Structure formats: structure tokens, C-alpha cells
Amino acid sequence: MTRISFIDSVLCASRGIINSISKERNIKIQILLCSLIIFFSLLLEISKTSLITIIVVCFLVIILEMFNKGFEKLVDFVSPEYNKEAGRIKDIMAGVVLLTFIMTAIVSFLILYNPFIHFISQISKNIFFLFSLISLIFLVSIMIIIKLIKDKITK
């Protein structure tokens, strides 16, 4: 068996990460959502422990999605024809990712709720800033929806 150098291992792993991010729609969406959650966590100046918790659960979703995609490809390679059991295995793996995403949403909500309410009460005193923030959130949401619709149409 050939020994692979540490540098080659890191390069292979990096190629896997880049390949996953560039080709998998769900990973792109999860990275976007996790980036927004982390951005708001930094904006709201939550405690370091809370920030670490949010970063860990966000990374966990992305890691498990990558694991799920790799597992799906392995199942498809081993069983290229339709197989009911293979489908169940893939559904279970997708369920793991969904549960982790739900956990991340709950943890993030519980951590960010009070700082967000405090932040809104502070900025509501400045109506221009509040209007700008709502407009920014609205525009970003519209851009995401248009991108998702465009991706769906082109496929």
C-alpha cells in the first residue's frame, strides 16, 4: 500500500471540500444560512461561548451534508439500479442532516432571540437605520428567491 504524504492528504481533502461546495446546491444553501447566522451572531455581540456553539452546530450541518452526499454517491456506485433498501438508507442519511439542521435552527434561535430583541429595541429609536435594515433583508431575500427559481428553471 502506497503511503500518501500529509500535504497530498490535505490537497485531496481540500479538493473534496471545493467539489462539494461547487456542485451541491444544499451545501451552498446551508453555507449561506450558516454565514448569515454567524454574521448576525457577530453583529449582536453574543458571548464567546454562544458564538462557539453556533459555529460548531453550523459546521456540523455542513459536515453531515458532505458526509450524506458522499454516502449517497457510494450507495449509487454500489447499487446503480433502483433498490428499495438503498433508497431507505439514503433517506435515513438525509434525515440525519435534516435533524441536525433543525437542531441548528433551534440552538441559534435560543441563543440569538434575546440579543436580537435588544438590538431591535435599540435601533427602533433610529427609524432610518431600521428602514435600511428591513430593506436590506428584503432585497437579500428577493435575490435568494430569484436565484433558487432560476436554478430550478434551468434544471
What CATH number is associated with residue 70? 1.10.287.3610
Question: Do 12 and 34 have their domain in common?
Answer: yes
Residue 40 identity? F
Q: Are residues 16 and 76 in the same domain?
A: yes
Instruction: State whether 102 and 135 are in the same domain.
Output: no
Mean of per-residue pLDDT scores for the chain? 89
Backbone phi and psi for residue 3, each to the nearest 5 degrees, phi listed first: -85, 135
Instruction: 54-57: list long-range contacts, CB under 8 Å, 24+ apart.
Output: 54/107, 54/108, 54/111, 54/112, 57/100, 57/103, 57/104, 57/107, 57/108
Domain check: are 43 and 91 in the same one?
Answer: yes
- Say how many C-beta atoms besides its own lie within 10 A of residue 20's C-beta: 19
CA–CA dist 62, 27 (Å, integer): 6
Instruction: Identify the domain containing residue 58 by its residue range.
Output: 6-112
Could you tell me which of 50, 66, 59, 65 has the C-alpha nearest to residue 107? Answer: 50
**Residue 1 included in any domain:** no
Domain count, the chain: 2
26-74: pLDDT as tens digits: 899 999 999 999 999 998 999 999 999 999 999 999 999 999 999 999 9
Is the domain of 24 the same as that of 77? yes
Residue 60: all three cell numbers together: 456540523
Question: Residue 79 — pLDDT band, cuts 50, 70, 90?
Answer: confident
Same domain, 81 and 17: yes
Quick check: helix, strand or coil at residue 29? helix
Query: Does residue 17 belong to any structural domain of this protein?
Result: yes
Q: Are residues 136 and 63 in the same domain?
A: no
Backbone angles phi, psi at 2, to 5 degrees: -80, 135
Is 136 in the same domain as 95? no
